[in-house]
Structure 1
Amino acid sequence: MEIWKESQLKQLTFAREIETAYPILLQFAQNIGFNFCAVSLTSNNRNADFKILQINNYPKEWNQLYEKESYRKVDPVVTHCNRSMLPIVWTEELFSPTPLLWDAQQEHGLRHGWSQSFHHEASGLCSILSLARKNGPLSPLELYEHFGYMFYATSHLSDLFARSLPKLPKKPEHPHLSPRELEVLKLSALGKTAYEIARILCLSERTVNYHVQNVIIKLNVCNKISAVIAPSRCGLLDAPNP
């Protein structure tokens, strides 16, 4: 590995924010012959209020046009990157369903490019790193030489941004109820008394009341009625006994 590549890789590794990582990526892009570098991060499993993060050095006019025409919705590069982590080269064939987008990119100097995505499973983030230039198509050798750096960079960006997001609330864990406790609760939900439940399950009435009391303690409720309602709401009484 060339010394400058190793140096920039170390700098990227130590970057703790997207804003400090981007200049390193831009310098790398320029060192290997690209004019433009773009980073975008989207989320697949967060709410609609999540805003797409986009940082690039594209021409200002192009960014305004891309936003105005809502090109992101039909961009085949974005579509590919949202579903695959394989690198994608920008070609006229790829953009054949959206010729206006292809022509507009050409006019603004984004003539030859490629993109790499990374899907951050824990957070649902999808990061996309794109490099583009005005002249000279990409060669297979370029893709081979720089794929490792691109893939590491996109994964690192996802990790950096994921750390900055508020943690998603954990789903509440339901207390473990034994098969016998569930049987008692199900019969109680049907309106059976402790005496009737005891006869059905071949238990003593005292044992039935013991199970009910255990459930009340486990669910942190105040009485038998609440002990029946709580597991009913979370679906415990609908499931078959383990």
Structure 2
Amino acid sequence: MHRIIQGCEIKSVSANPSYYVSSNSYTLEDFIELVTRASDFKTLNKVCSLIRTQYQFDFYAIFARVNRVNEAPICYFIREHDNEWTRHYEAEQYMFTDPGVRIATHHMTPFNWSSNRFANLKTQLSPKELQMSHDALDYGLSHVFNAPFVNKNGDCGLVRFINLDGKSSLDEDSRQQQSKTPELYYLASYVYESLSRLLKAQKTHNILSEREKDILLWTAIGKNPAHIAGNFNISENTVCKHLCNIRRKFEVRNTTHAVAKAISMQIISL
């Protein structure tokens, strides 16, 4: 899903709906290695599913806000799978009234949300935040572990592990919570950094349009603008305009440099 809401470009992504179940038990170091080595979103989703399974959560969700120069920020809402709550969350645009998201834009301390915590904090919530929180309880969200992150560029994110239907893998008053919360926050920090890396790579790869990639590839193999124009049934002037746009996007002065940069960034390959 791709839309503009409240000055932000929204990209909603449902990860692979398959549930990843493993009988293996992973150490903290195992998970860190798997997250760090994730080379695509599908792999990262698989690792996050393994993490939430081992820590006895029902599903995970990630919010990420990425600022851009002279453009609206991009807000990514990534969920492990569709369910009644995630569909309702999107339909009601709760990304903008979610108290957890608000907290994530200013703080970096992990926190657990539950019905008990909600009862203690509801006087501090706005009416819209109260509505969102009431709905979450009505849909069975009994416990949510929240790990917020903010970087020096003002980008922020929130990694969540969620329990449904009255279950709680972390009792707020138990010693178990004291031991698991630091581990989960530590793992979530790697998840957020890996996601940021993949989003940055995606943005870099998508810097050129498909037509610009095609024209640059043909240029790279030695074809001149006239030949390229004939191949794509466009004018030579259009080809030259595309090459000019490519140089501008790459911030280079000549097409040879643009070709070299595209190859080094793995945008085109010979």
TM-score in same-fold range (> 0.5) = yes
Larger radius of gyration: 1
- Asked whether the equivalents of residues 127 and 158 of structure 1 are also in contact (C-alpha less than 8 Å), the reply is no
Offset at residue 143 of structure 1 (A)? 1.0
Task: Give secondary structure in 2 for the equivalent of 1:113.
Answer: strand
Q: Which deviates the most, 140-149 or 24-33?
A: 140-149
- Does residue 71 (structure 1) correspond to residue 97 (structure 2)? The answer is no
Q: Which residue of the partner structure matches residue 8 of structure 1?
A: 31
Structure 2 counterparts to residues 39-50 of structure 1, below 5 A: 39-46=62-69, 49-50=72-73
Question: Which stretches of structure 1, 4 residues or more, deviate above 6 A after TM superposition?
Answer: none
Structure 2 segments unaligned to the other structure (5+ residues): 1-24, 208-270
- Asked whether the equivalents of residues 67 and 73 of structure 2 are also in contact (C-alpha less than 8 Å), the reply is no
Q: Which residue of the partner structure matches residue 194 of structure 2?
A: 156
Could you tell me the percent identity over the aligned residues? 20
Q: Distance in 1 between matches of 2:163 and 2:70?
A: 35
Q: 1:53 to 1:116 in 2, by over 3 A?
A: same
Q: Which residue of the partner structure matches residue 140 of structure 1?
A: 178
Offset at residue 161 of structure 1 (A)? 1.4
- Asked whether the equivalents of residues 29 and 35 of structure 1 are also in contact (C-alpha less than 8 Å), the reply is yes
Offset at residue 81 of structure 1 (A)? 0.5
Q: Distance in 1 between matches of 2:198 and 2:79?
A: 17
Q: Which residue of the partner structure matches residue 107 of structure 1?
A: 138
Q: 1:95 to 1:21 in 2, by over 3 A?
A: farther
Q: Which residue of the partner structure matches residue 221 of structure 1?
A: none
- Asked whether the equivalents of residues 65 and 157 of structure 2 are also in contact (C-alpha less than 8 Å), the reply is yes
Show CA shifts across 1:96-136 (max 9, x none). Answer: 523322221122222101211223435x5322210111212
- Does residue 165 (structure 1) correspond to residue 203 (structure 2)? The answer is yes
- Does residue 121 (structure 1) correspond to residue 159 (structure 2)? The answer is no
1:7 is matched by which residue type in structure 2? D
TM-score, structure 1 normalization: 0.59
Which protein has the bigger strand share? Answer: 2
Offset at residue 77 of structure 1 (A)? 0.3
- Asked whether the equivalents of residues 63 and 101 of structure 2 are also in contact (C-alpha less than 8 Å), the reply is no
Q: 1:94 to 1:22 in 2, by over 3 A?
A: farther
Q: 1:67 to 1:95 in 2, by over 3 A?
A: farther
Structure 1 segments unaligned to the other structure (5+ residues): 170-242
Q: Which deviates the most, 15-24 or 133-142?
A: 133-142
Q: Distance in 2 between matches of 1:165 and 1:59?
A: 25
Offset at residue 21 of structure 1 (A)? 0.6
- Across the aligned residues of Structure 1 and Structure 2, the Cα RMSD in angstroms comes to 2.6
TM-score, structure 2 normalization: 0.54
Show CA shifts across 1:199-238 (max 9, x none). Answer: xxxxxxxxxxxxxxxxxxxxxxxxxxxxxxxxxxxxxxxx
Structure 2 counterparts to residues 1-242 of structure 1, below 5 A: 3-46=26-69, 49-57=72-80, 60-90=83-113, 91-92=117-118, 93-96=120-123, 97=125, 98-121=129-152, 124-134=154-164, 135-136=167-168, 137-138=171-172, 139-166=177-204
